[in-house]
Amino acid sequence: TMPLKEKPYRDKVLFPFFDGLIPEGWLLDIAEQSWKISDRDRFSLLLACCKDCIGNVSIQCIMHDA
């Protein structure tokens, strides 16, 4: 779980919770081919495949100045 906190979570790799939302197996193959996304680009796969997740989770990309 990722506890609520004021500061944003930042890392160079996708957090395991979100990586677990990405499809696997033949469904991942279909996603990679349909959107032409590399299996190594986990964040793009997350954005393409997981916009409307089941439950109380939503995936959005919001650009902020670093």
- List, for residues 23-34, the tens digit of each pLDDT value: 999 999 999 999
Residue 5 lies in a domain: no
Residue 23 lies in a domain: yes
**pTM attached to this predicted model:** 0.71
CA distances from 44 to 5, 17, 40 (A): 25, 15, 9
How many domains, the chain?
A: 1
Residue 2 lies in a domain: no
Lowest mean pLDDT among 13-17, 24-28, 32-36, 48-52: 48-52
Domain residues for 17?
Answer: 12-66
Condensed to tens digits (0 to 9), the pLDDT of residues 33-44 reads 999 999 899 989
Residue 31 lies in a domain: yes
